[in-house]
Amino acid sequence: MDRFETYVQDNQERFLGELQEFCRKPSIIAQKIGIDETAQWVSDRLQKIGFEAQVISVEGGAPVVYGEIGTGDKTLMIYNHYDVQPPEPLDLWDSGPFDAEIRAGRIWARGVSDNKGPWMARVHAIETYQNVVGELPFRIKWVVEGEEEIGSPNLGRFVEQNRALLAGADACLWEGGRRDGAGRPVISLGMKGICYLSLSVNGANSDLHSMNAPIVSNPAWRLVWALASLKDENENITVDGLMERVVEPTQDEWTLLRDIPFDEEQIKQDYGITTFARGATGEEVVKQLLFDPTCTICGFLTGYTGPGPKTVLPHQAETKVDFRLVPDLNPELVLQLVREHLDRRGFTDVEVELLAQLWPYRSPVDHPWVQTCIEVARAIFGAEPVVYPSSAGGGPMHQLCGAFDIPGISGGGAGNPNSNLHAPNENIFIEDYMRAIRYTGHLIRALNKL
């Protein structure tokens, strides 16, 4: 691959210029800014390297860019997104979020790490491969969506409506990927799901003087009792039938888990806490973080919440509860279990509404495409990869990979430990960008050998 390396180096200036051009296009889905225009730009750029690319509109959502190239028995799916988080607060940026300024060895721009840099590096890797090796050795199906930063609300529908187009891939190279502080490449093989509920109770027809409390039922109390039935003081989720569905980590997953660096003292210091939940230490902390489902009160509002006392009996109470899901849980199942659990205990007055949902997904660690992604990372980064069997957070991996039962591998990105994703001064190092190009180039060759 010497010629690959030479081509990449010779074209570094142009590559960075193109990345700057991409980053200078605001594509802020939350604010509906620049979405269609950026989708078209992405499609055009894919066509330039030979992709049959199209902008596929999705009713009520942002369009998805879809491109195909190559022939052969194998098919690699790739997932990226062209939308970015809002840049606010603007005054905390050292240079404009859409200036894409190069400074001190880095490019600074909203989206440069999440996820425009990693997408562009893949484009540049394929271009390089084509120029120094020739035609791609297998088929690529590339999905570039535009709603990742608002939770991919329409990706599932897009997949449903385009199953024939998308089917037949062996694995999916996911977005994401960074190196940690020790230079180790970070790879993730799964994502938790989400079942985000609103639980609410209505009482009297208006707030009442609290002297009426002996005779008028209080919706805030009803909600507290309902909540207390969902999770106990020892942090055990007690929703009937929920924990029974949770799959324990496999031996392979435990092996990966034990190798994940996790600086307990540093994390405790960062969060300002003295112990972890359940008093966990060592590998148990990481096991909980990655493999345990959660039931989190994200918000609770009722009655008077200003300063001082106000003697009021609230007539309405609402709480937002976020269940993070691991296999074999899913949002519809959890919604149903919660409803049945509450009904069984007489909490028929608690209204349950589903506000957001994602299915969990985990890729098999021993899948050959997964192992190849890990091996190439080890070679290119020159360090032992940190492989997460699942991220602690959620993502739409199930919508794409689950639909076709293929492994999803997140890695090979250009991020660093201080890339400031979703924050001011988002950045990547030029060095990391060039390494991301090399990673994808080498990966294509390695996957071809399978």
Site for its own copies in 139-168 (CB under 8 A): 151
β-strands 64-69, 52-56 pairing: antiparallel
Q: Which of 317, 365, 387, 414 binds its own copies (CB under 8 A)?
A: 317
Please, which residue, 282 or 382, has the CB nearer to its own copies? 282
Residue 210 sits in the site that holds its own copies (CB under 8 A)? yes
Residue 299 sits in the site that holds its own copies (CB under 8 A)? yes
The rounded distance, in Å, linking the Cα atoms of 10 and 26 is 29
Query: Do 387 and 256 meet the contact criterion of CB atoms below 8 Å apart?
Result: yes
The rounded distance, in Å, linking the Cα atoms of 392 and 99 is 32
The rounded distance, in Å, linking the Cα atoms of 442 and 376 is 7
Please, which residue, 189 or 289, has the CB nearer to its own copies? 289
Q: Which of 45, 320, 362, 435 binds its own copies (CB under 8 A)?
A: 320
Give the total of residues touching its own copies (CB under 8 A).
72
Please, which residue, 295 or 443, has the CB nearer to its own copies? 295
3-state secondary structure of 349: coil
Please, which residue, 70 or 389, has the CB nearer to its own copies? 389
Query: Do 124 and 15 meet the contact criterion of CB atoms below 8 Å apart?
Result: yes
Site for its own copies in 187-206 (CB under 8 A): 192, 194, 196, 203-206
The rounded distance, in Å, linking the Cα atoms of 194 and 217 is 32
The residues near 294 (Cβ < 8 Å, ≥ 6 apart) are 237, 322, 323, 324
Q: Which residue has the tokens 């897009």?
A: 158
Residue 254 sits in the site that holds its own copies (CB under 8 A)? no
Site for its own copies in 332-361 (CB under 8 A): 346, 355-356
Least spacing, CB of residue 223 vs its own copies, in Å: 8
Please, which residue, 107 or 194, has the CB nearer to its own copies? 194
Residue 217 sits in the site that holds its own copies (CB under 8 A)? yes
Q: Which of 31, 57, 131, 212 binds its own copies (CB under 8 A)?
A: 212
Least spacing, CB of residue 78 vs its own copies, in Å: 25
Q: Which of 310, 332, 344, 348 binds its own copies (CB under 8 A)?
A: 310
Residue 297 sits in the site that holds its own copies (CB under 8 A)? yes
Long-range contacts of 201-206 (CB under 8 A, 24+ apart): 201/226, 201/316, 201/317, 201/349, 201/350, 201/351, 202/315, 202/316, 202/349, 202/351, 203/313, 203/314, 203/315, 203/316, 203/317, 204/313, 204/315, 205/315, 206/315
The rounded distance, in Å, linking the Cα atoms of 235 and 226 is 15
Task: Give the bridge partners for 394, in sequence order.
Answer: 192
The rounded distance, in Å, linking the Cα atoms of 80 and 20 is 18
Site for its own copies in 386-445 (CB under 8 A): 391-394
Site for its own copies in 257-286 (CB under 8 A): 267, 271-273, 275-277, 280, 285
Q: Which two tokens stand for residue 182?
A: 């020790």
C-alpha dist (Å) from residue 365 to 38, 76, 269, 387: 35, 17, 32, 9
Least spacing, CB of residue 43 vs its own copies, in Å: 30
Site for its own copies in 87-146 (CB under 8 A): none
Task: Give the bridge partners for 202, in sequence order.
Answer: 316
Contact flags string 220-239 toward its own copies, x per CB under 8 A: xx--xx-xx--xxx-x----
Please, which residue, 182 or 267, has the CB nearer to its own copies? 267
Least spacing, CB of residue 58 vs its own copies, in Å: 20
Least spacing, CB of residue 8 vs its own copies, in Å: 35
Query: Do 422 and 351 meet the contact criterion of CB atoms below 8 Å apart?
Result: no
Least spacing, CB of residue 355 vs its own copies, in Å: 4
Residue 30 sits in the site that holds its own copies (CB under 8 A)? no
Query: Do 242 and 334 meet the contact criterion of CB atoms below 8 Å apart?
Result: yes
| Span near its own copies by CB under 8 A; candidates 49-57, 315-323, 328-336, 364-372 | 315-323
Q: Which two tokens stand for residue 271?
A: 């969060």
Q: Which of 58, 313, 325, 342 binds its own copies (CB under 8 A)?
A: 313
Residue 243 sits in the site that holds its own copies (CB under 8 A)? no
